[in-house]
Amino acid sequence: MSQQPEFPLLRAATPERWFEAAGERWRELLVDHANCEKKAASTALSMMFAYAEDTALAERLSRLAREELRHFEQVQKYMRELEVPFMRLAPARYAEGLRRAVRTREPRRRLDLLLCGALIEARSCERFVGLVPRLPSPLAQFYAGLARSEARHYALYLRLAAERAGDEDWQRRLAALAEVEAELATAPDPQFRFHSGEPTTRTFRTAAT
Amino acid sequence: MSQQPEFPLLRAATPERWFEAAGERWRELLVDHANCEKKAASTALSMMFAYAEDTALAERLSRLAREELRHFEQVQKYMRELEVPFMRLAPARYAEGLRRAVRTREPRRRLDLLLCGALIEARSCERFVGLVPRLPSPLAQFYAGLARSEARHYALYLRLAAERAGDEDWQRRLAALAEVEAELATAPDPQFRFHSGEPTTRTFRTAAT
């Protein structure tokens, strides 16, 4: 966690080696990216069920989920065009690691879920921006567009969290969760995924490359 | 199940008493309808995770889920405009009843889930059509539009099922599931919901009416 992040919210920048690996393993990345978009929609939908009485929250999360699904369809379209075959990938440690940091009692749980949502979108935004100069042409433009969406999404999650924080010092809680997030996104990680940490294995071209 | 259904797929028409109750209890119906749209999106998303390798399926279900979410947002808008307060409602027996009829082993499970999807959309379509003349003005037009969407959706689910049936006689399986569905949608039911059966309680105006 030595590098200073350029992005607000994030406590540590993505390690350079992750970007190097991504430049070579962009096919795997694309497959995992499709998963992430689906997962983002599913997380928003879970909150719509859990907090159904908060109709303003449901309204915004529903729009967000629709946008994530549209991104999912776009990622699948690029997979088709670039002839990247589907493969089952074990999930990264990232989402599970963040989930463990979420408090279980309400209303803290809701606040934590929203703050984690903001952090995940901020990390995605940072990685999309960093990926743009390292990816082949059609993907580079696509990722630049996604970076703008993710920036809107993290601002949305943060606003939703701030509006619902009540008496709690949400900025302090955000800082604590951001520490957990930064560790997950930067510590050595044997897996390579969209949200994985510093790659421990040497970068290699995969069979599909 | 004495009435002949006008809708293809369905084995029995919705009882007249359900429509009578709906004309009076449209506020509760609207709240449950919001749930149903959310649930429809969530069911499509679950199949996108369960059958991720079937990218053509995922593509179509993703579009369908986006449309259900847009309907959810529209229902919430009508709730706001018509001053219908949110209330927590226990789920109807319908979805759980259908779920129990779904076979557990693949690839039968996938076929059953798609056929159930077709039946649920067909039932929704039938009820929207029947509700149009019984509802106050802005809702009537809205429901007429939704009936057209649901008709597209049941055709989609049916096509997805037929394409994936392999050696199985999917029409025979559809007929079997349609029997289960018809029973759930028409047998006496103490609950009143969008997909409930024949109301057993006398129609009454609710506190909110």
Q: What is the mean pLDDT of chain A?
A: 93
Q: Which residue of A has its CA nearest to B49?
A: A38
- B6: helix, coil or strand? coil
- For residue B202, the model assigns a pLDDT of 62
Euclidean distance between CA atoms B89 and B85, whole angstroms = 12
- A53: which chain B residues are within 8 Å (Cβ-Cβ)? 86, 88
Q: What is the DSSP string of chain A?
A: --SPPSSSS-SSPPPHHHHHHHHH-HHHHHHHHHHHHHHHHHHHHHHHHHTTT-HHHHHHHHHHHHHHHHHHHHHHHHHHHTT------PPPHHHHHHHHHS-SSTTHHHHHHHHHHHHHHHHHHHHHHHHGGGS-HHHHHHHHHHHHHHHHHHHHHHHHHHHT-TTS-HHHHHHHHHHHHHHHHHSEESS--TT--EE-SPP---TT-
Chain B residues near any Cβ of chain A (below 8 Å)? 35, 38, 41-42, 45, 48-49, 52-53, 55, 58-59, 62-63, 65-66, 69-70, 72-73, 76, 79-80, 86, 88
The pLDDT of A122-138, averaged and rounded, is: 94
| Beta-sheet strands, E only, within chain B | 188-189, 198-199
pLDDT in tens, B111-150: 999 999 999 999 999 999 999 999 988 899 999 999 999 9
Euclidean distance between CA atoms A21 and A144, whole angstroms = 19
- For residue A6, the model assigns a pLDDT of 61
Euclidean distance between CA atoms B72 and B79, whole angstroms = 11
Let me know: does A161 contact A118? Beta carbons within 8 Å. yes
- B14: helix, coil or strand? coil
Let me know: does B164 contact B110? Beta carbons within 8 Å. yes
| Surface-to-core class of residue B105, CB atoms within 10 Å of its CB (0-12 exposed, 13-18 middle, 19+ buried) | exposed
- A80: which chain B residues are within 8 Å (Cβ-Cβ)? 55
CB-closest option in B41, B73, B76 to A45: B41
Structure tokens at A91: 């999930």
**CB contact set of B176 (below 8 Å; sequence gap of 6+):** none
The pLDDT of B163-173, averaged and rounded, is: 96
CB-closest option in B38, B62, B69 to A49: B38
Nearest-CA neighbor of A194 among A109, A115, A121, A106?
A121
CB-closest option in B35, B45, B52 to A86: B52
Q: Quick one: pLDDT band at residue A1, thresholds 50, 70, 90?
A: very low
Under DSSP, the state recorded for B117 is: H
- A49: which chain B residues are within 8 Å (Cβ-Cβ)? 38, 42
Amino acid at B205: R
| Residue B156 Cα distances to A56, B46, B60, B118, angstroms | 31, 17, 8, 8
CB-closest option in B58, B66, B86 to A66: B66
Euclidean distance between CA atoms A125 and A135, whole angstroms = 15
Euclidean distance between CA atoms A184 and A189, whole angstroms = 9
Q: Quick one: pLDDT band at residue A209, thresholds 50, 70, 90?
A: very low
- A33: which chain B residues are within 8 Å (Cβ-Cβ)? none
- For residue B48, the model assigns a pLDDT of 98
- Min Cα separation B86/chain A (Å): 6
Tell me phi and psi for residue A198, to 5 degrees.
-70, 125
**CB contact set of B137 (below 8 Å; sequence gap of 6+):** none
CB-closest option in A45, A52, A53 to B45: A45
- For residue A202, the model assigns a pLDDT of 62
Q: Which of B33, B42, B46, B69 to mutate to test the interface with A (most CBs of A within 10 A)?
A: B69
| 3-state secondary structure labels for all residues of A55-77 | HHHHHHHHHHHHHHHHHHHHHHH
Q: What is the mean pLDDT of chain B?
A: 93
For A65-92, letters b (16+ CB in 10 Å) and e give bbbbbbbbbbbbebbeeeebeeeebeeb
- Min Cα separation A75/chain B (Å): 10
The pLDDT of A15-35, averaged and rounded, is: 96
- pLDDT beyond 90 at B171: yes
The pTM score is 0.92
Q: Quick one: pLDDT band at residue A136, thresholds 50, 70, 90?
A: confident
R_g of chain B computed on alpha carbons: 17
Q: Quick one: pLDDT band at residue A5, thresholds 50, 70, 90?
A: low
CB contact under 8 A, A55 and B79: yes
| Surface-to-core class of residue A172, CB atoms within 10 Å of its CB (0-12 exposed, 13-18 middle, 19+ buried) | exposed
Euclidean distance between CA atoms A47 and B65, whole angstroms = 16
Amino acid at A110: R
- Min Cα separation A30/chain B (Å): 14
Q: Which domains does chain A have, with CATH numbers?
A: 16-186 (1.20.1260.10)
- For residue B136, the model assigns a pLDDT of 85
pLDDT in tens, A158-176: 999 999 999 999 999 999 9
Euclidean distance between CA atoms A185 and B184, whole angstroms = 49
Beta carbon pairs, A and B, within 8 Å: 64
Let me know: does B111 contact B151? Beta carbons within 8 Å. no
Q: Is the ipTM of this complex over 0.90?
A: yes
Q: Which residue of B has its CA nearest to A74?
A: B59
- For residue A207, the model assigns a pLDDT of 44
- Min Cα separation B166/chain A (Å): 22
Q: What percent of chain A has pLDDT over 90?
A: 89
The pLDDT of B54-64, averaged and rounded, is: 98
